[in-house]
Amino acid sequence: MRTEPVRVASLTPALDLPRTSEREELTTLISMKSSAFPYFGNNPRTEEPFLNISKGERKGRRSYNGRVYWQDETYNDSRVLVHVPEAFDVRKPGVIVVFFHGNGATLERDVRDRQLVPQQISDSGVNAVLLAPQLAVNAADSSAGKFWQPGGFKRFIDESASHLARLYGDPKSAQAFANLPIVIVGYSGGFMPAAWSLEVGGIQNRVRGVFLLDAVYGELDKFATWIEKNRAGFFVSAYTRHTARYDQELMEMLRGKGIAVTESLEGPLRPGSVVFVQTPDGVTHRDYVTQAWTEHPLKDLLIKMAATPALTRIAGAPYAAR
């Protein structure tokens, strides 16, 4: 049993819900209708069908680099990696961490076992749960699927409430999960669903922080707009030389809007913090989720968020009464 105290993610009063008896840590895969795929709509960047080739009855997509990915192999996995730490307490203020993985990934092999995302959340001691949707399966593709759609992110978050409550062991807690604030984390190719979720997701009032891990490859206007309109939240982008020019461009965009930018995570993470951290050349893109400016950067950032008094007051919203 983990005995460390839980760091609450807010000082706001929570619902007084009954606590279930002894609960084990739960990490599982759940199929969700509102997850990124399957997706049969258009690519909003081209206004053309996302699935743009066929072979008999089989449909697929020819990507920008000419590679063909088939729908039944690459864009047909609706599962979401859901993690509820053993110490999570729905009676206390908390957060939902939504993790958008990078290219060439699967939830089990990469997000869970190699990048240790569920473990980092548990080890942080922060009162947080995880949702990590499967994007393109094991493919060099950043497509956002249903997260391209207006309200797509909201539908995903809304659907997750009952699943989280069931895993937690108390179906009555769905109301609490339906009101938890959200931190969006995007790694590498995860920038695409992260950016579109911020722009058209329909749930901006609950997104209290954005954390990008070597992930600013484009959609700069969407990130800049969210930062400009959400001065009570935080934005952190850690990057290597691979994305440096895009991060520098985004910094200049923000400074042009009169938004202060910090290039160090040494100080406290405050409301309105906009932080860019360049990591040295020895840090590799592939290992960035476990080794960036520090070991286990997601764990480190969650601790910084929860330990800062000014941020903890705005990191959670009051739970709606049942």
Q: What is the pLDDT of residues 222-263, one digit of tens each?
A: 999 999 999 989 999 999 999 999 999 999 999 999 999 999
d(CA 205, CA 140): 32
Residue 321: the pLDDT is 35
Whether the bond between 38 and the residue before it is cis, its omega within 30 degrees of 0, is: yes
| Spatial CB neighbours of 252, under 8 Å, sequence gap ≥ 6 | none
Mean pLDDT of 7-31: 57
Tokens of 37: 């795929």
Q: What is the percent of the chain with per-residue pLDDT over 90, rounded to a whole number?
A: 79
* DSSP string for residues in 87-135: T--TTS--EEEEEE--SSB-IIIIIIIIS-HHHHHHHHTBSEEEEEE--
**Can you give the pTM of this predicted structure?**
0.89
| Spatial CB neighbours of 54, under 8 Å, sequence gap ≥ 6 | 60
Residue 23: the pLDDT is 59
Mean pLDDT of 69-78: 96
d(CA 138, CA 174): 32
Q: What is the pLDDT of residues 136-175, one digit of tens each?
A: 999 999 999 999 999 999 999 999 999 999 999 999 999 9
Q: Residue 72 class from Cβ within 10 Å (0-12 exposed, 13-18 middle, 19+ buried)?
A: exposed
pLDDT category of residue 17 using cuts at 50, 70 and 90 = very low
Whether the pLDDT of residue 1 is over 50: the answer is no
| Spatial CB neighbours of 193, under 8 Å, sequence gap ≥ 6 | 36, 100, 133, 135, 142, 144, 145, 147, 186
**Mean pLDDT for the chain overall:** 88
d(CA 169, CA 144): 31
Q: What is the pLDDT of residues 271-308, one digit of tens each?
A: 899 999 999 989 999 999 999 999 999 999 999 988 76
Q: Among candidates 316, 314, 310, which has minimal Cα distance to 91?
A: 316
Whether the pLDDT of residue 309 is over 60: the answer is no
